[in-house]
Structure 1
Amino acid sequence: YLHMILWAFVPGLVTGFLQRLYYSIAYPVDSRSRPTKGDAKYHRHYRYIYTAVVLGYLAYTIAETRHQLPASHYAELNLTPSAFSSRDLKLNFKRLSLQAHPDKNDGRDTQFIRLRNAYETLNDPVRRFAYDRFGLEQAQCQACRTRHDYQASALPGILGYYIGTGVVMGLFALFGKGSFGSYWRWLFLCAMLVIDASLSVWSDSWLGALLSFIMPGLTPREQITVLHRVYISFFIAVNQIGPL
């Protein structure tokens, strides 16, 4: 929600500041040629600056999205999701757990417990499948035993995101908001649903390989999370620039 609030206010505030700064440099205070509100030239300058600010803020939010992801089990154990062996997993866990053992850290066991949980999850092929595709919360499902169990448990949450997003988009359209680029918003939302479903059902798919090429070092669930955030940021930006 904070992200959407910032998108609603930051571009306009920054644009106003930059336009005033530009006019203070380009036009003397008493210059008759200085554009004022209501002038076509003023509006054109505002549009150019606003577009540049929105595109810059979009680039920043996309770049920042990956860094906002919490540390994964792979990062905890210094592993790469697509390139490690069972031996690597055991050796890294042994080395790191010795360093983080409570006996060597004045009884503090937080890091040791995190390492142990990460190891137990990644060492179990079924739980690792669930963690990679559905995230930590689903991987901790106590009633799940098979891949099908995890898939069935995760399905309501996955569908809930897309249904909720669709409802919000429908409400915006109902009140005459966000009409610019609505076709592409719906198309990309459906495309993300297909990608999400593909990664949830098939262990190895060409979509998964493509996402791993574009976003190396991330699990499928992290890749989908990045896509969700980029999707929201991109279409907020388009909706702000389009009507200008």
Structure 2
Amino acid sequence: MTDWLSFFGWSFLPSLVTNWIQNIYYRIVYRAGENIPKPGQPKHKLHQRRIYIFVVVVYLIYTIVEVIHSIPPNYYDLLGVNQDFTSKELKSNLRKLQLVFHPDRNSEQQAESNFILLRKAYDTLNDPVKRFAYDRFGPDINYWTNCKTKRDYILLGRNYSTGFYLGTGLILFILNILGKGQFGRFWRFIVFCGIACIETSLILNPQSNSSFLSYLFQNFIIFERIKIFRQLFITIFIALSQVGPVLFPTDNTQDIRSNLHNFEILCNIASDEIKNQLRSGFYPFQNDQNAQSELRKKMEKLVVDNYLHQNDHEFVQAYNQAQQRTRKKK
């Protein structure tokens, strides 16, 4: 939900705030009766471009700070220990915190849930395998009940990471086909692959990772760094796609026909894939006339039933009553 809100914000906020600031700027700078630059004039475009760049940069800084500060406390923070803690220190801090949040001693509503969370954090950090997995994949490992070894956690975590990169890569590819976000597209893919390499290095061998980003966020756990890197990639390149064309305007307008042609190719590919799926689904009935006749009757009945369910409320009510009577008889 947060990602969608951020994307929605980047879609309209910079332009909206730019127009608002530009109007206020003109009211302050230009006195009554003076010629205020009008939309379309070179001076108006120059002011609009500068204010727009300023707004995007400020919004980018705000988004980055918000991403970093939105990360919830990790298990180390909850138990008040550093990443190089000792077993004695971990157990001592747990006992102190349990005395504070024990439901018999603390009447707050969140006391019991905090007490349970503290125990879960202790069990995770006290187990070398679970701690290894938690450092790399975060609290999601609590739901990976089938994992027993470090290798199990890495393989399952790889699947989740692959899903993110395949989805993001597909979106970038589609935007490229449609001609959207063309500014810096080469470097976008280069940095995208670089982030994937850094993430792989952090998961498999974090001690050997000496990138600038890792050094900058060294106080964060590995899974927190990965989350920040992903958010920074998305946020920065959205900002660049907004500012780039303004900083470096080009007179070469792309022919919309080429974009429509590329879109048509994608639609034809999807259409052919759907046809193949339908053919494979009906292949068992190809040479069986009786099966085809029976299938045709059932499909006609299904169409009629769907129509009645969607348009005839009396039929739906009678159908539900009949279903209830059938259940009662059973």
Structure 2 residue 112 is the aligned partner of structure 1 residue 109 = yes
The alignment partner of 1:135 has SS state of helix
Counterpart amino acid of residue 71 in structure 1:
P
1:53 equivalent to 2:38? Answer: no
Q: Residue 79 of structure 1 aligns to a residue in which SS?
A: coil
Alignment partners' CA distance in 2, 1:205 and 1:135: 20
Cα deviation code 1:160-216 (max 9, x no counterpart): 1111111111111111100001111111110110011112222522248x5553113
Letter in 1 for 2:187: W
Structure 1: gaps of 5 or more residues: none
Partner residue of 2:240 out of 234, 238, 241: 238
Equivalent residue, structure 2, for 1:97: 98
Q: Conserved in 2, the CA contact under 8 Å of 1:7 and 1:236? A: yes
Q: TM-score, normalised by structure 1?
A: 0.94
Matched, 1:121 2:124: yes
The aligned counterpart of 2:314 is none
Counterparts of 1:189-204 in structure 2 under 5 Å? 189-204=192-207
Shift of 1:71: 1.7
Tell me how far apart the structure 2 counterparts of residues 190 and 73 of structure 1 sit (CA, whole Å).
30
> What's 2:151 paired with?
148
Structure 2 CA distance for aligned equivalents of residues 66 and 76 of structure 1: 18
2:231 aligned partner: 229
Secondary structure of the corresponding residue to residue 106 of structure 1: coil
CA displacement, residues 8-42 of structure 1 (integer Å, 9 cap, x when unaligned): 1111111111100110111124312x110000110
For the 8 Å contact 1:77–1:92, the answer to whether it is kept is yes
Q: Which has the higher helix share?
A: 2
Percent identical pairs in the alignment equals: 39
Between 1 and 2, higher relative CO (CA 8 Å, sep ≥ 6) is seen in 1
- The 8 Å contact of residues 86 and 123 in structure 1, kept in 2 or not, is answered as yes
Q: Within 5 Å, which residues of 2 pair with 1:201-212?
A: 201-207=204-210, 211-212=213-214
Matched, 1:30 2:33: yes
| 2:303 alignment partner in structure 1 | none
1:60-89 deviations in Å (ceiling 9; x for gaps): 1111111101221111111233x3222221
Length, aligned pairs only: 241
State the structure with more CA Rg: 2
Deviations 1:84-141 (A, max 9, x none): 2222211111111111111112384111001000000000111011011011112441
The whole-number CA distance in structure 1 between the counterparts of 2:29 and 2:115 is 60
Preserved CA contact (<8 Å) 2:201 2:209: no
Whole-angstrom distance in 2 between the partners of 1:125 and 1:197: 20
Contact 1:130 1:139 in 2 (8 A): no
- Residues 66 and 226 in structure 1, CA contact (< 8 A), matched pair in contact too: yes
Q: Which residue of 2 aligns with 1:187?
A: 190
Structure-1 residue corresponding to 2:12: 9
C-alpha distance 211-84 of structure 1, shift in aligned 2 (>3 A): farther
Q: Note the aligned Cα RMSD (angstroms).
A: 1.5
The aligned amino acid for 1:69 is I
Q: CA deviation at 1:217?
A: 2.7
State the AA in 2 paired with 1:181: G
How far the C-alpha of 1:149 sits from its partner, in A, is: 0.4
Distance (Å, rounded) in 1 between the aligned partners of 2:135 and 2:241: 33
Question: For the residues of structure 1 that align with 2:168 and 2:225, how far apart are their CA atoms?
Answer: 18
Alignment of 1:158 onto 2:156: no
Partners of 2:18 and 2:51 within 8 A in 1: yes
Between 138-147 and 180-189, report the one with greater CA deviation.
Answer: 138-147
Which TM-score applies when normalising by structure 2?
0.70
- Any conservation in 2 of the 1:139–1:150 contact (CA below 8 Å)? no
1:216–1:197: structure 2 CA closer, same or farther, 3 Å change rule? Answer: closer
Task: Please report how far the alpha carbon of residue 223 of structure 1 lies from its aligned counterpart in structure 2 after TM superposition.
Answer: 0.5
Alpha-carbon separation, structure 2, partners of 1:21 and 1:225: 38
Counterpart Cα distance in 1 of 2:189 and 2:130 = 33
Quote the Cα distance in structure 1 between the aligned partners of 2:5 and 2:136: 26
Structure 1 partner of 2:141: 138
